[in-house]
Structure 1
């Protein structure tokens, strides 16, 4: 009996120690993110406008060509882990916004604290580009580009020491729309580069910042000249809406999804995120909706309360989906 109790005590002790080690890592991760966001919050409170662009001077690989189709070389930037904690590194892919026609892969200032902290915890951040729309609609190609970025990660996992079982995708605005389409569609759908077709495009989770999940809700009546030409090129509106609405692709195998959207968004209706969240729940998909109260669509003039809500949600979601 004494031997049994000793063995039981030893097992319990080991379990408790393992739990403490895991929990301790997550506590340190949470603390690191909170510390960086407190610093960011102080900077925001001292200026009227938040510059959402930040210099990319700490990346390990810049402008890596991941494919070249349509005569347009597409590139990605790799921000490797600042600490080698894992045998192979978990990956967070960043997909920029810009109304499908503008923008680049520079990491926004509002997101850099959380991404920098995850780098210090062994993550690799990959910021990708996609072929911007010029004069006509080209959703299909852009979705292919995001999926081919993921396929490129699978193809090059050993070269860059990447863990393809731990890929998350974070998209902003139109980049969120493309990310959701890439993550929700079938593995072999939306192919472009023949050299990447054989590779998987599966991801573990998705983070949607103010993404248009129902194109039918977008107000296209007051667009600038560039966007007017693009949307005027659409002759089969109902077909385009049906084919390129992420909400239409949700099923029981859809990756876990975090949705972050401001109720004050005047560009993409908050209703689209409510619909996405409801559809995920109806389909048995694990989803979370974080509602911001006063931030603009591009996260400019973001309030202190919204920073707290956003950072807390990002922190808990990624940490709970991490291999820690």
Structure 2
């Protein structure tokens, strides 16, 4: 009996030591979960109130503003860096934000509606970067815009030592046309869509991408609804008998294969600008090719986020939080 109790004691001691070691090894993730839980409670008590994109205030407290990342034919593109609020072993994971605006409007200011989510990650050692890209003005430049976003990722890889980035842990969040560019930039190979020659030799690989209302098949869009500039740009391609080629070449759905970045899709059935089916076909094709993909379907939100209910705003925040936490290295 004494021997049995002795062995039970030894086994329990081993279990306790192993459990203690495991808890120690995931202490960073536990801290992140705690921070996320606190942020969840804040969001649950005060859900985001969204009337339209145009009314959103923007995220503040950046550490570096208008950092030049590429210069092509004298046209400079810049990015903003919202640095981590604490140091973590292995370097700072990076979340890159790509703005929307029908490829012709908008800027790299981060909407305040997602800033509480992003700030919770900054608290745990993440870096948030928002990037600009050349906007269309009467001429189709999808390729240039995609290379700008890819160059941003290449710049992150190039400058990992200067800023303490963990380049194995890069995620990209894109909204609307920014989601389209994010998908194109992350679903294509390193050698495609090269921009600045000084960045051409660097990787454009990322770990995951979050797609908000992104067009995945440009053939399905009523591009005239996007405004005069994008409409004129597509007309210019049509006049050169290149419209079909352009729409197919720059549709993310045509680049889905194996080993895509993990993808979270967020889209509304009520979207009248980008058909909800764009996200359905992307989700299905990613699943059929063995990729990891998740999707949140909204019921009431319009493309500009107007009409979204409080509970859907909360769903958006929580889906993003959970997805990024699952892909966290901590």
Q: Determine if the TM-score, normalized by the shorter chain, exceeds 0.5.
A: yes
The structure-2 alpha-carbon separation of the partners of 1:243 and 1:116, relative to structure 1 and needing over 3 Å to count, comes to: same
Counterparts in 2 of 1:247-266, with a 5 A limit? 247-266=253-272
Equivalent in the alignment of 1:290: 296
The counterpart of 2:214, out of the listed 174, 192, 211, is 211
Could you state the TM-score of these two structures normalised by the residue count of structure 1?
0.92
The counterpart of 2:144, out of the listed 138, 141, 144, is 141
| 1:188 match: secondary structure | coil
| 1:141 match: secondary structure | helix
**In 2, Cα distance between the equivalents of 1:151 and 1:254?**
17
**In 2, Cα distance between the equivalents of 1:264 and 1:132?**
27
**In 1, Cα distance between the equivalents of 2:173 and 2:32?**
20
The counterpart of 1:311, out of the listed 314, 317, 330, is 317
Equivalent in the alignment of 1:33: 39
Equivalent in the alignment of 2:62: 59
Q: Deviations over 1:91-144 (max 9, x none)?
A: 000000000000000001221111011101110000000011111110100110
Equivalent in the alignment of 1:94: 97
Larger CA deviation: 15-24 vs 108-117: 15-24
The counterpart of 2:169, out of the listed 166, 170, 180, is 166
CA contact (8 A) 2:136 2:229 kept: no
Could you state the TM-score of these two structures normalised by the residue count of structure 2?
0.91
**In 1, Cα distance between the equivalents of 2:216 and 2:100?**
14
CA contact (8 A) 1:99 1:173 kept: yes
CA contact (8 A) 1:53 1:107 kept: no
Larger CA deviation: 156-165 vs 293-302: 293-302
Equivalent in the alignment of 1:280: 286
Answer with 1 or 2: which has the greater Rg.
2
CA contact (8 A) 2:179 2:214 kept: yes
CA contact (8 A) 2:97 2:173 kept: yes
CA contact (8 A) 1:58 1:79 kept: yes
**In 1, Cα distance between the equivalents of 2:52 and 2:147?**
35
**In 1, Cα distance between the equivalents of 2:58 and 2:264?**
27
